[in-house]
């Protein structure tokens, strides 16, 4: 595992972590923990195998560990409270904020699959291997996640109803 | 009608362009007759597009130094800490670091107090704090196996640019390879009135030495090499214009003097 190969993956890890967590600092912390764990488990990486999938797998497991722990009270601020002017151009700012906000209302397991498909363009089989779940589970999470996201994006009613149900 | 009914998995795979060509056209014919399903597919495609527009700009953001530093192996990998929960690890480390700094500062202060009676002539030529601060910085950071530096030598250009900017004057780590010491990296530290820089080196045996660079000297009086012993740490320090330099390591005085000379030779004297 050489430095340039790792360095090339860091921006992708950051993008995915940011999309998963919605918070820049928390995302970069997760990336840092992922890289540290990767270095300490270097012996488990088989040369020639897909480093990206390996790193995303590590990040996934760290995230699972985090979710199992009791939540800190720092999750209470709604994402809509932040106005980050540099995030998007004026015209599609609303739409982008919508998708990010809608995404944050998906269950973790659905968001994860959706992002690996949309951002990482991983194959379903690679996602199943990375997350350690059956291929059928990948498909059902993807299907449910997309449909839920569509309903949320379709309007406040759907969004509000889903929030209550959840 | 299609011989094989279109499944939900087919629809998803169609959105992701993951179907073989033949199946793909099956799905297309199906969607042509099912406007609601076609609308769903369009919504999923625009979701993908929106997610990419929203998050792809992150790919072009400059990497924080702590992350780019992790592109290379940390000097020593602490395997034992892996199975502890991250939160506990972090907060314990922070608390421990706080205690360590307090302890070391107190200890070094006591040592310096002991070593520098008021009549000591050295105290007039150089701020007595230079060697002490450098030694404290050395004992605090050089034993740190996981994060000895903020920016590693892998990114020496970034390190130089960053520290020069923060100190408001060009600073550059001298090359000590001929003496067996390689740069690990550097960090920014608080001095008496502003930032100071610390460069860290190690030799093949893992012995670390640090060069502390302060730009806070206002006495306007250059000095020759001074030597101080701060507990287990030997320090050579000198003033050169507005710069104060202090080289610290737990190695013997003769060796350290040779390295200090090499450092001095590589610095632009103004």
Q: Are residues B136 and B53 in the same domain?
A: no
Q: Are residues B201 and B146 in the same domain?
A: yes
The structural domain count of chain B equals 3
User: Which A residues 53-92 touch B at CB under 8 Å?
Assistant: 62, 65-66, 69, 87-88, 92
Q: Is B240 on the interface with A (CB under 8 A)?
A: no
Compare CB distances from A69 to B44, B67, B87 and report the shortest one's residue. Answer: B87
Cα separation, A81 vs A22, in Å, equals 12
Distance of alpha carbon B248 from the chain centroid: 19
pLDDT-derived band at A8 (thresholds 50, 70, 90) equals: confident
Q: Is residue B270 part of a domain?
A: no
Which pLDDT does position B89 carry in this prediction? 53
What's the 3-state SS for B232-269?
Answer: CEEEEEEEECCEEEEEEECCCHHHHHHHHHHHHHHCCC
CB distance B214 to B243 below 8 Å: yes
B120: DSSP letter: -
Q: Are residues B160 and B28 in the same domain?
A: no
User: Which pair of tokens denotes residue B211?
Assistant: 């060069």
Could you give the residue ranges of the DSSP H alpha helices within B142-198? Answer: 156-167
Cα separation, B205 vs A106, in Å, equals 52
Is ipTM strictly over 0.85? Answer: no
Q: Are residues B74 and B164 in the same domain?
A: no
What is the pLDDT tens value at each position of chain B, 270 positions in all? 546 889 999 999 999 999 999 999 999 999 999 999 999 999 999 999 999 999 999 999 998 888 888 888 776 554 444 444 455 555 556 666 666 666 666 666 655 655 554 444 444 444 457 888 898 899 888 888 778 898 899 889 999 999 998 898 889 999 999 999 999 999 999 887 788 999 999 998 888 999 999 987 776 577 778 888 888 889 998 888 888 999 999 998 889 999 999 998 888 775
Q: Is residue B232 part of a domain?
A: yes
User: Which pair of tokens denotes residue A110?
Assistant: 């659905």
Element at A61 (helix H, strand E): helix A51-68
Domain enclosing residue B82, as ranges? 66-115
| Record: contact B56-A35, CB cut-off 8 A | no
| Record: contact A39-B82, CB cut-off 8 A | no
On the question of pLDDT at A89 being above 80, the answer is no
Give the tens place of pLDDT for each residue, B133-178. Answer: 898 899 888 888 778 898 899 889 999 999 998 898 889 999 999 9
Mean pLDDT of A97-106: 86
What secondary structure does DSSP assign to B20-62, as a single string? -HHHHHHHHHHHHH-HHHHHHHHHHHHHHHHHHHHHGGGGGSP
User: Which pair of tokens denotes residue A107?
Assistant: 């269950």
Compare CB distances from A124 to B11, B18, B43 and report the shortest one's residue. Answer: B18
Q: Are residues B41 and B107 in the same domain?
A: no
Which pLDDT does position B4 carry in this prediction? 80
The residue of chain B with its CA nearest to that of A63 is B86
The torsion of the CA quartet B214, B220, B224, B229, rounded to 10 degrees, works out to -50
Q: Is residue B1 part of a domain?
A: no
On the question of pLDDT at A54 being above 60, the answer is yes
Compare CB distances from B54 to A33, A69, A100 and report the shortest one's residue. Answer: A100
User: Which pair of tokens denotes residue B40?
Assistant: 């769903």
Give the tens place of pLDDT for each residue, A129-163. Answer: 999 999 999 999 999 999 999 998 887 444 444 44
| Position with higher pLDDT, B241 vs A89 | B241
């Amino acid at each position: 595992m050489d430095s340039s190969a790792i360095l090339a993956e860091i921006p992708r890890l950051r993008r995915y972590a940011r999309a998963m967590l919605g918070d820049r600092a928390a995302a970069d912390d997760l990336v840092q923990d992922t890289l540290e764990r990767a270095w300490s488990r270097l012996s488990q990486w088989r040369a020639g195998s897909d480093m990206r999938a390996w790193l995303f797998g590590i990040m996934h497991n760290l995230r699972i560990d985090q979710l199992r722990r009791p939540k800190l009270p720092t999750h209470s601020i709604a994402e809509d409270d932040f106005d980050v002017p540099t995030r998007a151009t004026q015209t599609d700012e609303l739409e982008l904020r919508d998708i990010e906000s809608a995404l944050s209302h998906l269950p973790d397991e659905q968001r994860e699959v959706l992002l690996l498909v949309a951002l990482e363009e991983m194959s379903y089989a690679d996602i199943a291997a990375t997350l350690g779940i059956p291929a059928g589970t990948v498909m059902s999470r993807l299907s449910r996640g997309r449909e839920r996201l569509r309903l949320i994006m379709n309007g406040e009613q759907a969004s509000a109803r889903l929030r209550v149900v959840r | 009608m299609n011989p094989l009914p279109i499944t939900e998995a087919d629809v998803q795979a169609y959105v992701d362009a993951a179907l073989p060509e033949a199946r793909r056209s099956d799905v297309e014919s199906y969607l042509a007759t099912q406007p609601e399903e076609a609308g769903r597919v369009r919504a999923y495609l625009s979701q993908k597009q929106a997610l990419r527009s929203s998050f792809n700009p992150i790919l072009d953001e400059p990497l924080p130094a702590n992350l780019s530093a992790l592109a290379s192996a940390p000097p020593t990998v602490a395997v034992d800490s892996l199975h502890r929960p991250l939160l506990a690890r972090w907060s314990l480390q922070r608390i421990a670091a706080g205690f360590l700094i307090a302890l070391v500062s107190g200890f070094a202060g006591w040592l310096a107090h002991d070593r520098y009676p008021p009549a000591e002539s050295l105290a007039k030529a150089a701020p007595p704090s230079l060697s002490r601060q450098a030694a404290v910085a050395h004992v605090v950071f050089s034993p740190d196996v996981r994060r000895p530096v903020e920016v590693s030598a892998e990114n020496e250009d970034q390190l130089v640019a960053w520290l020069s900017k923060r100190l408001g004057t060009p600073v550059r780590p001298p090359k000590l390879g001929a003496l067996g010491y390689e740069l690990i990296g550097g960090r920014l530290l608080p001095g008496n009135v502003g930032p100071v820089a610390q460069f860290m080196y190690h030799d093949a045996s893992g012995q670390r030495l640090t060069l502390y660079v302060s730009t806070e000297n206002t006495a306007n009086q250059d000095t020759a090499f001074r030597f101080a012993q701060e507990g287990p740490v030997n320090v050579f320090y000198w003033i050169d214009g507005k710069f104060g330099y202090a080289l610290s390591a737990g190695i013997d005085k003769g060796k350290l003097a040779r390295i200090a000379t090499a450092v001095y030779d590589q610095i632009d004297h103004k």
